Amino acid sequence: MIRNNICLSSHPVGCSKDVERQIAYVKSKGPINGPKNVLVIGASTGYGLASRITSAFGSGASTLGVAFEKPGTEKSPGTAGYYNIRAFETQAKAAGLWAKTLNGDAFSTDIKNQVMEIIKKEMGGKVDLVIYSLASPVRTDPKDGVTYRSALKPRGGVYTAKSVDPFKGEIKESTIEPATPEEEFATVKVMGGEDWELWIDALMSEGLLSEGAQTVAYSYIGPEVTTPIYREGTIGKAKEHLEKTVVSLDKKLAKLKGKSYVSVNKALVTKASSVIPVVSLYVSVLYKVMKEMGLHEGCIEQIDRLYRERLFSGKPIAVDEKGLIRIDDWEMRPDVQAKVMTYWNQITSENVAQYADLKGFEEDFLQLNGFAITGVDYAAEVTSDQLV
């Protein structure tokens, strides 16, 4: 069920198969000399799920996940993230790996306290890697009880640019009104680094981070064509705050000889990118170019490379002039971006299939919810046992 470019249903068997595919990819690359006790905040989909899979099946880590997902009932499916978690835990158990997930609001003090109790009682009292990968549009500040809602808007003025309906293949101009100061502030509160720092503060106050512990959050920068709506927009302001949080965290983690990082990752199909004008078109064109050049990666390929070539390579971790890990390096290669802009400048509704990978965009969008997965019989009835 897709309405207004939002998928309202999920397929439990498809989600399970996709988790198995990601696990198989990591295992095919061989072991990683990486973390052994890992906390993943935002562990049910996308980069967070990929981080948990890579930690467990690459490094043999015990993993504690936090996510806020809706369970299924006997008559209707839950969220895709709910089934992803269930599939991951099933596979982890079969492999002899400890894994546990807390389903609740990661922004809340209550969930933080529950996580800390589990670390103390079931994980030996220490974690050596904390992944922060929350993607919620809403956050209630635990200090003042105010609920903030993010807004994906430009700042400073009305923004008009080329866009696409990825499911109809129609190229059109889209106009977005600018954010109010209140919307900008709220977006930083939801998507900035404030909660990340609260998590690290809580863990350190209880002595739950090991010597040399690392924490990693995820961000995105992107090219000039998406800058007004993304990097210079409200979400970009929030990402800047997230990236600046590293300075504060590093001072605190220095006591443990630990380190914090922000990894700038590649543009991919997400629930948000399917509804943000300009971004959906850019991602479709980028997919076309990177697949033609043999450079395309999904979430699991990106995170596996982050672990093997950056975080746990045994070499000094390469960062840019701002201290950011750039695992978007293939996307931002000059030859890739030059070809993207060549296609971008020529694309119309009539030739969109020639210059954009709308099929790949749609497949990735469906796969976020367990559909369009190879090896799944979608004509077969889904049983109540599979739903709950």
Q: What is d(CA 193, CA 201) in angstroms, rounded to the nearest whole number?
A: 12
Contacts of 38 (CB under 8 A, 6+ apart): 51, 52, 55, 56, 61, 62, 63, 64, 127, 128, 129, 130, 131
What pLDDT is attached to residue 161? 85
Q: Is the CA virtual torsion 120, 122, 126, 129 positive or negative? A: negative
Domain-located, residue 333:
yes
Domain-located, residue 45:
yes
Q: Considering its fold, how many domains does the chain have in total?
A: 1
Q: What is d(CA 380, CA 377) in angstroms, rounded to the nearest whole number?
A: 6
Contact criterion met (CB below 8 Å) for 272 and 220: no
Query: Which domain does 320 fall in, by range?
Result: 7-387
What pLDDT is attached to residue 277? 74
Q: What is the mean pLDDT of each run of 10 residues along the chain (388 residues)?
A: 78 97 98 98 96 98 97 93 98 98 97 98 98 95 95 90 83 90 96 98 98 97 91 94 97 98 94 76 96 97 98 96 97 98 94 94 94 95 92
Domain-located, residue 270:
yes
What pLDDT is attached to residue 117? 98
Domain-located, residue 231:
yes
- 230 classed as catalytic: yes
What pLDDT is attached to residue 170? 85
| Of 47, 230, 282, 287, catalytic | 230
Domain-located, residue 107:
yes
Contact criterion met (CB below 8 Å) for 380 and 19: no
CATH classification of the domain holding 109: 3.40.50.720
Amino acid symbol at 36: K
What pLDDT is attached to residue 271? 73
What pLDDT is attached to residue 164? 84
Domain-located, residue 2:
no
Domain-located, residue 1:
no
Q: What is d(CA 19, CA 95) in angstroms, rounded to the nearest whole number?
A: 14
Helices 109-122, 194-205: axis angle to 10 degrees equals: 40
What pLDDT is attached to residue 345? 93
- C-beta atoms surrounding 377 within 10 Å: 7
What pLDDT is attached to residue 169? 83
